[in-house]
Amino acid sequence: AVLLSHGDLAHAGGLAYAFARLGLSCPVYATLPVSRLSKLALYDAHEGVAEQSAAGAPFTLDEIDAALSRVSELKYSQTVLLSGRAAGLSLTPLPAGGSLGGAMWRVSKALEEVLFLPRFSHQKERLLAAAALEELPRPTLLLADIGAARANPLPRKAREARLGELLAHHLARGGDVLVPVDTCFRVLELCLVLEAMWAADRKMQRYGLVLLSHVASATVHLAASQLEWMGAQVTAAFDAKRTNPFAFRHVQVATSLEQALDRPSPKVVLASAADASHGFAARLLPAVCAAPNALLLFTAPPRPGTIGASLLASPMPQSVSLKTRERVPLEPAE
């Protein structure tokens, strides 16, 4: 069986390729939000890679649909008993934090229990509660990503204040800000942070704030319908005031480059993909790098070997090679 923990490319990006090209044939399990967001992330990646690569995307839209149709959608704490060669095993998704519907998996057989945490968050955020690891019984075996253990992040309020200072500084100088983001993983939390920032500061409301991906509208609509998967603070606000956190007043959604460019500058553009290797972020990158007052802001380390990782290399390179492609409609005479 395949267990999907989160809906981003790092966790679900190879699913369609594995079923279509590698002969994978097995059940797939995920929470409902992860299943739906995975499809949107793969759709966006397909379009973004197809625009930037002469070879096109490594999988088709039909292959994405076929792979995601195999997913059994579960609720948190819902236990599934496997059959066949895996008879006797049971699977249970538990809240992992970090992304909407993000799960850690408890795999049990008889008295043995394995807890699988490929990525989790122990910090409470605007959108989600923290993973409640201390409430779980001690497993026989723990498999966990220790990347977060090596990090030493600032407290949430300090991080958000620093982000606000950076954005305000460059916007006041007339420069646009490009923030490469994932399609529907951490970008949801970032949207809530920036929406609150714009709502609290009239000066920031002079500037545009754009969420740009091929599936941006669908992502926001899906997130708005998944309140039961969010933290207690969000659900309490909805119960008391009927306010949905994704009914944005300041974040403007765009699904094409033309829609984003139509917004007056200076502005902040959250554009996929997170490492700027493809998608709208790659297409906007040359203009941002050429503008003297613009800012290219990564909120997470880009994947090694990508243009984003090259730009953040230490020592900073004097030059970076960047190839871009653009689809140009043929004129009638051609």
pLDDT in tens, 63-77: 999 999 999 999 999
43-66 residue pLDDT tens: 999 999 988 776 778 999 999 999
* Span 89-124, pLDDT tens digits: 999 999 999 999 999 999 999 999 999 999 988 888
How far apart (Å, rounded) are the C-alpha atoms in residues 122 and 133? 8
For the entire predicted model, the pTM comes to 0.92
Tell which residue, 192, 177, 178, 184, has the closest CA to residue 45. Answer: 184
Q: Which of 116, 99, 108 is nearest to 3 (CA)?
A: 116
**Cβ neighbours, 10 Å, residue 316:** 9
User: Do β-strands 208-212 and 177-181 pair in parallel, antiparallel, or remain unpaired?
Assistant: unpaired
CA distance 329 to 101: 40
Query: What's the CA gap between 263 and 56, in Å, rounded?
Result: 30
Handedness of CA 43, 48, 53, 54 (dihedral sign): positive
d(CA 295, CA 313): 17
**Strand 295-296 versus strand 28-31 pairing type:** unpaired
* Burial class (CB within 10 angstroms; exposed 0-12, middle 13-18, buried 19+) of 315: exposed
- Look at residue 334 in the predicted model and tell me its pLDDT: 61
Model confidence pLDDT, tens digit, residues 132-169? 888 888 999 999 987 766 667 788 899 999 999 999 99
Structural tokens at position 1:
């069986």
Percentage of the chain with pLDDT > 70?
A: 97
Cβ pair 122, 133 in contact under 8 A: yes
* 288 torsion bin: left (phi>0), alpha (psi -120 to 50), beta (else): alpha
Contacts of 303 (CB under 8 A, 6+ apart): 275, 277, 309
